[in-house]
Each structure stands twice: as C-alpha cells, then as structure tokens.
Amino acid sequence: MDLWEKKIAIAWIAILGVTAAVMLLLLLTGDRSLHFTLVIFLIVVKFLAGAGNVIGIAGATIFLLTKLESMFKGEENKGRLKLFLFVMVLIIFVLLVYQGPYKIISSIIKGTSSSDNLIDNILFVYGIISLMWGLYIRPLWKGDFLSVTTVSTGEMIKKGFSSFKDRIKKKVYEIKKEYAKVEITEQQRLQEHLKTIRQQLAVVMMLFLGAGTLVFTPICAALIFGWLRIFYFTNRKPFKYEIAIIVGACVAISAIACTMPFVIFLTAFYIAIQSGYFWTYIASFTGLLAGAIVYLRKYLGPIMAKRKKQQIKNLKEEKAELEKEKAELEKQKKKISKESQKLKKQVAKSKET
C-alpha cells in the first residue's frame, strides 16, 4: 500500500468512525434535531422515481410489443398498433393527473398528513429498488458511473454507428411491414435517452441523497466523501474497497427507504417530516413531468414532423391538382369562347340572308 492509498484509507476510517460515533450519541441521547433532513432525502428520491416511471412505461411498451409482435404484423394490423401506442401514451397522462392535481390536492385537503395509500407505497418501494439499483449500485459496481459524464471519442463513434444501424433496421422492418419491430427499435432508443438523462441527474443528486441521510451519519459521510473521491480527489481512481463502501451505503438507503412507508407513521421521524411531506408530492410530480416532456418530445416530435411533411406534400399535390383543373377550365373557356364567336358569326350570316 503506497502513501496515497494509506492517506485515503486513514481518511475513510476516520470519517466513518467519527460519524458512527455521532450517530450512536444521537441514538443514546434521543436527539431529533437531524430528523428533518429526511425530507430532503424523500424529495430527491421521489423526483428521481417520478422520472423513472416514464422509463418503466417505455420498458413495458417494449416488453408487450416483443411478446405480442404477431398481433401487430402487416398493414392490416397497423391500426391496432396505433391504438396500443395511444393507450401507452395515455397512461403517462393519467399518471400525470394522478401524481399532480389528485395527489397534491389530496395532500392539501389532509393538511400536513400523508395521503399515500397501499398502491402508492408499493410503487414507491419498486421505484426505490429500481432507482438505487439502476442509478447507483449496478453502475458503481461495474465501473460505469462516470460513463454519462465522460464520453470518449470511441464511445461517440460507437454511439453514432449504433444510431445509423438502428435507422437501417427501422427501414428494413418498414419494408417488411414488421411495424412492431419498428416501434421496439424506437422505444429502445427513447428508453436509453431517458436513462442517460436520469443517470446524469443521479450524479448531481448523490450529494443531496447524502444530505438527506444526515440523520444516518455514516451513510451520509460515505455518499458525500465517495462523491468527492469520484469527482474531486481524482489523483487515483476509487479503490475497490471505496466502491464497496459507497455501494453498501446505497444498499442501506434502499433497505431504509423500503421499510419507511410502512413504519414511518410509528416512529419519531414522521413528526419531524410531517410538515414537509407536501413537497414530496411536488417532487414526484415534477420528476414525472420532466420525464414525460422528454419522452413525448422525443417520441411525438418525429411523428408530428412526419405528419407535417405529409401535410405539406398533400397540399402540394392538391395545389398541382387545382392548377391542372384551372388549366383545364381555361382551355374549356377558350373553347366555349371560340364556339360562341363562331355561333355569333353564323347568326349574323343568317340575318343577312
């Protein structure tokens, strides 16, 4: 172990040791002054989970299209595919109404109390597990956490080639009239785009997660010092034991968060965060809205552009048809005028005779 590694190891031991002692002291004395920081934790998690709901819908769309591909094959089933996609987009709008006006108004009516029901709690637990696994635990363990902030030239070339390959695949599927596969390719592209954005948010939100777990001081220290090691003290890459500590903190957060909805009302934490619970609904709705805007812009944007292009084409065709009809009318007008002149001459000639 060289000098740099020794310094880092000592720093970790000191930070975790001191924070563990502080947490033990708070537990023994029954101090509740740090409980309010859980509001920050809940706001951050619910925002990220809200954005993750849209990714979940995109994933469900891909799954159903893959499993039911035969139902959407051929020109005759194109209408059925459009109906299915309309329903999936409608689900996003229903969730927006539920997480926005409904939950926020319910929270206002109930005052400072939580208006969460069993379904909300189950969705929250699912969101936490998928969130912590997808954003922190898996990327950290595999060494991909920095991939969304540091993009190499090779990765850019690879991404460009992958995008080109997807466009070719879509064209081939369209020719074969395999519309489900066309849509699967598009949904996968959108899902990856949303995941990249959410991962970029996770990099920033890691600090706020640390601040939100201040009541659990060792977890807070692991997240904040871990973030500093990844982005600030970069003389050497984080060592394996450091990654293990950060991942351990994320696992601990997952465990705490999963039990929180079912036991929080029985603990002293709820009294401390009750007045700020309203903001967790705002955060959840804001995350969902942000994800929905990105998804719908990326998904509906090309459709609207294609429709606009088709409308312009139709207008041009209609204009050409009108010009053709106009030319035909002018031709008929000239013919009628000519015949009229001829008739007038015949009438004049008959009068002379």
Domains of the chain: total: 1
Here the tokens at position 221 are: 């220290």
pLDDT for residue 54: 79
The answer as to whether 340 is a domain residue is no
Query: What is the Cα Rg of the chain in Å?
Result: 32
Residue 278 falls inside a structural domain: yes
Would 25 be classed as within a structural domain? yes
Q: Classify 117 as helix, strand or coil.
A: coil
Q: What is the pLDDT of residue 186?
A: 72
Q: What is the pLDDT of residue 154?
A: 46
Does a structural domain hold residue 324?
A: no
Q: How far is it, in rounded angstroms, from Cα 116 to Cα 106?
A: 9
65 in any annotated domain: yes
Question: Is 327 within the bounds of a domain?
Answer: no
For tokens 């740090």, the residue is 34
Q: Which residues of the chain have pLDDT under 50?
A: 151-156
Which pLDDT value is given to residue 335?
A: 78
Q: Is residue 74 part of a domain?
A: yes
Q: Which of 49, 53, 68, 26 is nearest to 258 (CA)?
A: 49
Question: Is 352 contained in some domain?
Answer: no
Residue 148, pLDDT score = 52
pLDDT given at position 353: 60
Ramachandran class of 31: left when φ > 0, alpha when ψ lies in -120 to 50, beta otherwise: beta
Cα 85 → chain centroid: 17
Residue in the structure block whose two tokens are 């696992």: 251
pLDDT of residue 153: 42
What range does the domain containing 221 cover? 3-318
Task: Please report the pLDDT score of residue 256 as a whole number.
Answer: 80
What gap in Å lies between CA 36 and CA 30, rounded to an integer? 14
**What's the count of helices (H) and strands (E) in the chain, helices before strands?**
12, 0
Percent helix, strand, coil in the chain (nearest 5)? 85, 0, 15
**By C-alpha distance, which of 293, 288, 285 is closest to 101?**
285
Task: For residues 311 and 309, give the distance between their C-alpha atoms in angstroms, rounded to a whole number.
Answer: 5
Nearest to 44 by CA among 156, 128, 126, 167: 128
Q: What is the pLDDT of residue 297?
A: 78
Q: Could you report the per-residue pLDDT of 11-27, keeping only the tens digit for each?
A: 889 988 998 898 888 77
